[in-house]
Amino acid sequence: MNSFLHVQDIGDLKQALTEAREIKADRFKYQHLGNNKTLLMIFFNNSLRTRLSTQKAAMNLGMNVIVLDVNAGAWKLETERGVIMDGDKSEHLLEAIPVMASYCDIIGIRSFAGLSDRDYDYAETVYNQFLKYSGKPIFAMETATVHPLQAFADLLTIEEHKTVRRPKVVLTWAPHCRALPQAVPNSFAEWMLEASKLEDGVDFIITHPQGYELDPRFTEGATIEYDQQKALEGADFVYAKNWSCPGVTVPEDYGKIILNHESAEGRSWTIDAEHMAVTNNGKFMHCLPVRRGLIVTDDVIEGANSLVIPEAANREISATVVIKRILESLQ
């Protein structure tokens, strides 16, 4: 595996899940694989779970790890070509990439969407520059449009906690005070739709206010239900997430908040006990970090049906599987 962005990159999903369970039972099983290999993790944005779980995963595999926070001590990096660099950015990514690549064997990248230029974000410009100019295998630690390590961990969590053969999984938009990327819902939709093709997979529904339609390349074939209450009825898993306008129906709205969290309608999307009451004793999921009172109420996230902690713990497992696959392709 030379690049990890999409569910297709992991190959057979059932096999990947089997491997995840095997690694969870013995997470140091492949410790020889990473001997004398170095992972470089590059962060253009904040991180807690990704940073810790991916480093732990690399350590499970016996690797050395270097972490670079681009915004905390490195030169500010220019990412666009054809600009006169007379501002605050001292170094161009096109020199920085091969330099960084010379010190490592695998690169993980966190680079959020800028949310101002849809084409730039959806072309995965930064990620693809790393792929092109590093000559190393690259994996996404949340890029402009995807967060596959999260979606893989989410699928594993659903598999572990389901009580019926084909659970009903609902992705619901929830209000937020800041404009957030679409990476998490994009990947969640992509992975759930792939899982829905499995015999013992999932039934997947997305609910969001009008105008928040996700890019069809991630939701092709998904059921969209604009009535949140109707979508939540009988749900076995409720996956809440805010995202800003994907600009699918109104391109000028890309990256904007189009339903304010302070409006009555916005607030009506917050997951509380009343919302959970119509589900099938549904489990609550969120990738974290989560804003209480906006996305979810304290009682729901602290309740017995909240999976947010096991979900985060599974990030170590998904990352171990992915880095293991990359190491195997380097052998």
In eight-state DSSP terms, residue 76 is P
Helix (H, G, I), strand (E, B) or coil at 98: helix
Angstrom distances, CA of residue 82 to CA of 2, 43, 78, 244: 28, 24, 10, 29
Q: Which is nearer to ligand SN0, 234 or 289 (CB)?
A: 289
Spatial distance between the Cα atoms of 10 and 38, rounded to a whole number of angstroms: 21
The one segment of 3-11, 118-126, 174-182, 322-330 that binds ligand SN0 by CB under 6 A = 174-182
With a CB cutoff of 8 Å and minimum separation 6, the contacts of 14 are 198
Nearest approach in angstroms of CB 121 to ligand SN0 is 12
Residue 129: HSE in the Cβ half-sphere, 13 Å Cα cutoff: 21
- Binder to ligand SN0 among 21, 289, 299, 302 (CB under 6 A)? 289
Residue 178 in contact with ligand SN0, rule: CB under 6 A:
yes
Q: Which is nearer to ligand SN0, 34 or 185 (CB)?
A: 185
Nearest approach in angstroms of CB 189 to ligand SN0 is 14
Q: Distance from CA of residue 207 to its chain's centroid?
A: 18
Nearest approach in angstroms of CB 110 to ligand SN0 is 9
Given CA atoms 18, 191, 206, 173 in this order, what sign does their dihedral have? Answer: positive
Binding residues with ligand SN0: total (CB under 6 A): 9
In eight-state DSSP terms, residue 268 is T
Place of tokens 């990359």: 326
- Binder to ligand SN0 among 138, 180, 308, 327 (CB under 6 A)? 180
Q: Which is nearer to ligand SN0, 142 or 194 (CB)?
A: 142
Whose CA is closest to 152, among 276, 305, 293, 24?
A: 24
User: What is the identity of the amino acid at 301?
Assistant: I
In eight-state DSSP terms, residue 173 is E
Residue 296 in contact with ligand SN0, rule: CB under 6 A:
no
Site string for ligand SN0, 94-133 (x = CB under 6 A): ----------------------------------------
Site string for ligand SN0, 183-212 (x = CB under 6 A): xx----------------------------
Spatial distance between the Cα atoms of 217 and 186, rounded to a whole number of angstroms: 9
Angstrom distances, CA of residue 168 to CA of 219, 273, 292, 297: 16, 18, 24, 22
Residue 141 in contact with ligand SN0, rule: CB under 6 A:
no
Nearest approach in angstroms of CB 220 to ligand SN0 is 22
Q: Which residue has its beta carbon closest to ligand SN0? A: 180
The one segment of 51-59, 120-128, 176-184, 224-232 that binds ligand SN0 by CB under 6 A = 176-184
Give the pair of three-digit tokens for residue 22.
Answer: 């095997």
In eight-state DSSP terms, residue 113 is -
Residue 14 in contact with ligand SN0, rule: CB under 6 A:
no
The one segment of 248-256, 275-283, 285-293, 312-320 that binds ligand SN0 by CB under 6 A = 285-293
Residue 181 in contact with ligand SN0, rule: CB under 6 A:
yes
Give the pair of three-digit tokens for residue 278.
Answer: 């119509």
Residue 293 in contact with ligand SN0, rule: CB under 6 A:
no
Q: Which is nearer to ligand SN0, 98 or 289 (CB)?
A: 289
Site residues for ligand SN0 per CB under 6 A = 142, 178, 180-181, 183-184, 287, 289, 291
